[in-house]
Amino acid sequence: MGKLEAKNITLRSSEKIVLDDVSVEIPWGELTLVMGPPDSGKQFFIKTMAGILIPSKGQILYNGINIYDGNIATQKKHDFRCSFVFQNGGLLANLTIYENLRLALDNFFHKMKDDEKVELIQNYLSRYNLPGIINKRPSELSVDNLKTVGFIRALMIDPVLLIMNEPFSDCELNTVDMLLEEIGKLKHRKLTMLVVNQTTANFEKIADWVIFMEHGKIVNKSKSDQQGMME
């Protein structure tokens, strides 16, 4: 059981304040949906929670420790692994799908043997019905497959925090169903998830909490069944 919180986060982008003194606790082991109008700062918020953006003020605390202190050893020491699923997959264009997935494994699992990594990648791709794409480049894949591979890459490192940016946008219905089923399983395993989505569509039954943002601030955080917008 962990405790994750953003404490007085302020972030500037091009001299504009995009996150304004944001403080919030992310419920551990639950799925939190982040919503808000365009330019409300939700993308900046999840990227800051993932350590991709460094706030000009404030900290991300994991069990009371500043987890993104500029030293990767801090995350390793506290067994904190955060994965991010990008809207466009975020796969490296000049690597094959195998190389993309292998990069994540090589970086996180130093002691894992080569054949174990190959087997793990093959197992994941088979599980998501994508065995034929292993040697393809991201540009050869459909949007659905890009998102699925991005999702696989995020899961492969066995994260304690999974952050997703618009996981279903532009996806076909069967892919949405498949990803929803997987997210449901992760929720059952009590994985902490933070998801940005434009609407509550698809998340009505699985979101535990909803955070609503406006003008770089969190204006509301509530249990999903208590949130007016969810009804």
Partner 1 sequence: MDITGKIGTKTVTVIGNITYFWQFCIEVMANIFTFAKNIRIASLVLMRQILFTGFDALALVSFGGFIIGSVIILQGSAIFPNLANSQLMFTILVSVVTRELANFIPALILIARSGTAMTTELGNMVINNEVDALVSMNISPISYLVVPRTIAMVFSLVPLGIYFNIISLFAAGIVSQFLLNVNLADFSIKLFSQLTFLDVFISVMKSVSFAFAIAIISCYHGLKIDFARTEVPQRTSKAVVHSISAVIFLEILITIVSLQY
For residue 45, which of 212, 186, 157, 203 has the smallest C-alpha distance? 212
| 2 is a contact residue toward partner 1 (CB under 8 A) | no
Q: Is 180 in the site for partner 1 (CB under 8 A)?
A: no
Using rule CB under 8 A, residue 52 touches partner 1: yes
The answer to whether the CB of 4 falls within 8 A of the CB of 68 is no
Q: Which stretch binds partner 1 (CB under 8 A): 85-93, 121-129, 174-182, 205-213?
A: 85-93
- Residue closer to partner 1 (CB basis): 39 or 99: 99
Cβ neighbors of 196 (< 8 A, separation 6 or more) are: 33, 34, 35, 42, 43, 46, 164, 165, 166
Contact 169, 150 (CB under 8 A): no
Backbone angles phi, psi at 214, to 5 degrees: -150, 135
Closest separation between CB of residue 221 and partner 1, Å?
A: 24
Q: Considering only CA atoms, which of 229, 194, 218, 179 is closest in space to residue 33?
A: 194
Site size toward partner 1, by CB under 8 A: 27
Cα–Cα distance for residue pair 168/173, rounded to 1 Å: 9
3-state secondary structure of 201: coil
Query: Is residue 90 a contact point for partner 1 (CB under 8 A)?
Result: yes
* Non-local CB neighbours of 56 within 8 Å, separated by 6+ positions: 10, 11, 12
Rule CB under 8 A: choose which of 59, 66, 88, 222 binds partner 1. 88
Residue from 50, 67, 130, 141 binding partner 1 (CB under 8 A): 50
Give the dihedral of Cα atoms 73, 76, 80, 84; nearest 10 deg: 80
Q: Is 106 in the site for partner 1 (CB under 8 A)?
A: yes
Interface with partner 1 includes 108 (CB under 8 A)?
A: yes
Of residues 56, 57, 69, 72, which one binds partner 1 by CB under 8 A?
A: 72
Among 45, 62, 86, 151, which residue interacts with partner 1 (rule: CB under 8 A)? 86
2, 192 Cβ separation under 8 angstroms: yes
Residue closer to partner 1 by CB (options 86, 168) is 86
Selected from 24, 26, 34, 104, the binder of partner 1 by CB under 8 A is 104
Asked if 87 interacts with partner 1 (CB under 8 A), we say yes
Residues engaged in binding partner 1 (CB under 8 A): 14, 47, 50-52, 72, 75, 82-84, 86-88, 90-95, 99, 103-104, 106-108, 110, 157
